[in-house]
Amino acid sequence: MYATPEQFAAAGKATFDAFAGLAATQMATVERIANLSLRASKTAFEDGIGFSKSLFSAKDVQEFVNLNSAATQPAVEKAPGFTREVYDLATQAQGEFAKVFEDQAAELNKTLTGMLDKFSKNAPASEVAVTAVKTAMAAANQAYDSFSKAAKQATEIAEANFTAASAVAKDSLKRKAA
């Protein structure tokens, strides 16, 4: 009925492994976002150099004005793509975090249920208390499932809104360019 030191050690190791995995996921996400930002900065720098060169080669005032008015177009066109990539990376990391927490919750639930079963076998007079705890655990699991489903629906709605906003921004850019 009682947990042994080996069981505590195994549980501690499993928890450590889960959180070490989360830390590794977080670091990988930060690395991907940093690389993405570096690529975007490099592209912006190269675009700026190209723009400056084209300004210096302008043959008249009208060409200079036209080049100047078109200068922001590349950055404005690339911004939604950059934002989308950052959003995708964040969503992927959030999904990995959610999976780890769901796995941990399931393992904890299984462990508690096993301990309650052992307890009820060794102390049959406490069957009412064990049933009450099991009922509370089932209610908590049901509430967690409802919360998880609501969070997934909110993520799907945010994804749809983000996609719609990106499409509107792209259409607006195309109309401005034309």
Measured in degrees and rounded to the nearest 5, phi and psi for residue 78 equal: -85, -20
Tell me the two tokens of residue 21. Answer: 């995995």
> Which residue did the predictor score with more confidence, 128 or 53?
53
What's the mean pLDDT in 142-167?
A: 75
Please state the separation of Cα 159 from the chain's center in Å.
12
- Point out the least confidently predicted range of 57-66, 82-91, 168-177: 168-177
* Residues sharing a CB contact under 8 Å with residue 23, sequence separation 6 or more, in sequence order: none
Which pLDDT score is estimated for 178? 58
Q: Indicate the pTM of the whole model.
A: 0.61
Residue 30 — pLDDT band, cuts 50, 70, 90? very high
Whole-angstrom distance, CA of residue 88 vs CA of residue 145: 24
Q: Rounded to whole angstroms, what are the CA distances from 14 to 17, 19, 21, 113, 152? A: 5, 9, 11, 18, 26
Q: What percent of the chain has pLDDT over 70?
A: 88
32 pLDDT exceeds 90? yes
Top-confidence range, 64-68, 157-161, 166-170 = 64-68
Higher-confidence residue: 2 or 91? 91
The answer on pLDDT for 39 being more than 90 is: yes
Distances (CA, A) of 99 to 25, 106, 121: 12, 10, 33
Would you state the structure tokens that stand for residue 92, as one six-digit string? 């992927």
Mean pLDDT of the chain: 80
The answer on pLDDT for 132 being more than 60 is yes
**Rounded mean pLDDT, 66-74:** 78
